[in-house]
Amino acid sequence: MTPPRLAIATAPFRQTLRESIVTAQTCGAAGVQFDARYELKPAEFGVTARRQLLHELRERDLSVASLDFPLRSTIYDADRIDDRMAALRRTMEFASQLKSSVVTVRSGPLPEDENSAEAVRLADVLEDLARYGNHIGATLCLTSAGADAERLAAVVREAVRQGPLAVDFDPAAALLARRQPGADLRTLYDCLGQFQLRDAVRDTQTSGRETALGRGEIDWDEMFALIGEMHFRGWLVVRRNEGDDRVGDAARAVKYAKAVMLE
């Protein structure tokens, strides 16, 4: 049975685009996740530039796993919502042009009252984006970011009827939110569109901090076993947002993940 594919989120390296591609190859990844707001802007990549980028990736045996679009507010914030929606549609189209089918985005805190104006607006936003994704062959994945797994699953399963919608699961965020990553992953088993390889440790003073993969509190034997049970065939994305040796930590994370998956 073919194991999931490993990718690296390159934006945290703060390198040039070419340097990031070389780094991903050197680290042993099969794919890359680009930041479509600050690192790889759709407006700067016409047909020729896209072809050149895809050619360079193929030369290094890499694929675009996904595009991430960081938001400055919640996805359903009424302020400048039309601009936000247009930017997300452009990113989804750009992902499709780069032979990827996944765009990740943080929704922001989910509305607690399912009947509130915010909850209705969130459902409308997701419905619109899912419908557009269905048209162009792209899937919007909501990054879990420590959200209540039951509520997030309900949003993904019930709020959208017009197209695909999935979850980009972040076990480190779940841990730092004092949740159980294994239990949350079980809750979201049929919603998973991408999985972040991030680790973390908690402390008594703050929520905790991110750490190198395998050095934190997450039970990776359990995580990979669950992923195997789910027959997940999407991308596992190494993301190292902190630390003084992010490239080295990413390379070690790829090696660690391969070793655990092959046990």
User: Are 30 and 200 spatial neighbours (Cβ–Cβ below 8 Å)?
Assistant: no
According to DSSP, residue 28 is labeled T
Residue tagged 């934006």 (tokens): 11
Residue tagged 């601009």 (tokens): 83
User: What one-letter code names the amino acid at 162?
Assistant: Q
Per-residue pLDDT of the chain (263 residues; tens, 9 = 90+): 466 799 999 999 999 999 999 999 999 999 999 999 999 999 999 999 999 999 999 999 999 999 999 998 999 999 999 999 999 999 999 999 999 999 999 988 898 888 899 999 999 999 999 999 999 999 999 999 888 999 999 999 887 777 789 999 999 999 999 999 999 999 999 999 999 999 999 987 778 999 999 999 999 999 999 999 999 989 999 999 999 999 999 999 999 999 988 66
Query: What six digits make up the tokens of 190?
Result: 């049929």
| Domain residue limits at 83 | 5-261
pTM of the full structure: 0.94
CA distances to 94, 150, 193 from 176, rounded to whole Å, are 32, 17, 21
Domain tally, the chain: 1
Residue 56's CATH number: 3.20.20.150
The phi and psi torsions of 108 (rounded to 5 degrees) equal 85, 175
Strands 209-211 and 199-201: antiparallel
- The b-or-e profile of 48-62 (16+ CB within 10 A means b, else e) is eeeeebbeebeeeeb
